[in-house]
Amino acid sequence: MPNFTYHHVFEPASEPDACPLLLLHGTGGNEHDLLRVGRMLSPTGAILSPRGDVNEAGALRFFARLGEGTFDPAEVMRRTLALADFVQTATRHYGIDPARLTAVGFSNGANIAGTMMLLRPDVLRAAILFRPMVVLDHPAVHESLVGRRVLLTHGTTDPLVPRDHPDRLASLFRAGGADVQLQMIPASHALTPQDIAVAESWLAR
Ligand code: MLT
């Protein structure tokens, strides 16, 4: 058994060809939060769901922040690389196919899934980002995301995500050649059934 650096849940696939998911919860959540959503999106696929290892006054998340929507790039990079290393160790250990691994992240979890796509494009095949924002304003390296797919869902009345961020984030991924879909949802920051429906049809494409 490797020395895993994150507490996590792993559920094996019951069908070998089903899409494996990496679930990344939002601030104040834990590794169990997105299991139901994960099962809706991939009923028979493997699921890897780590718990955020940063404790912000009792609320777990995946990197520390300076304030709401204010980030330290060095902290974000360090935590992103650490999570990417964990994911690679876990995929090897559990026999998950990295060429098909799709991240599903909400809020802070969407943010670290996005920075993982930008900084470690080898780790994920695709990412579903619910309510992400621009955390690292770095475009992906040219052609580093060719063959990768990203879905972003933005809540049109979300008070936490600035209005220009979804388009800016989409451009950062497109700079690397990713196939990006940005979907506006008439909602606030919380996940809605419409987010799940959009993600289901995007995955089926
Ligand atoms: C959050 O509350 O998690 C923020 O909206 C996103 C973040 O801090 O990464």
Q: Using the predicted structure, report yes or no on whether residue 3 has a pLDDT greater than 90.
A: no
Ligand 1 contact via 108 beta carbon (within 6 Å)? yes
d(CA 184, CA 202) in angstroms, rounded, equals 14
Point out which residues pair with 50 in neighbouring strands.
Answer: 8
Ligand 1 contact via 111 beta carbon (within 6 Å)? yes
Centre of ligand 1 from the C-alpha of residue 26, in Å: 7
Residue nearest ligand 1's atom 3 by CA: 108
d(CA 157, CA 193) in angstroms, rounded, equals 16
Express each pLDDT in 117-152 by its tens digit: 999 999 999 999 999 999 999 999 999 999 999 999
Query: 58 CB contacts (<8 Å, ≥6 apart)?
Result: none
Provide the whole-model pTM. Answer: 0.97
How is domain 8-204 classified at the CATH fold level?
A: Rossmann fold (3.40.50)
> In a mutational test of the pocket of ligand 1, which residue from 24, 25, 27 has the highest number of ligand atoms less than 8 Å from its CB?
27
How does residue 12 score in pLDDT terms, banded at 50, 70 and 90?
very high
Express each pLDDT in 30-76 by its tens digit: 999 999 999 999 999 999 999 999 999 999 999 999 999 999 999 99
DSSP state for residue 67 in the 8-state scheme: B
Centre of ligand 1 from the C-alpha of residue 105, in Å: 11
Give residue 1's pLDDT: 83
Phi first, then psi, for residue 8 (nearest 5°) are: -160, 165
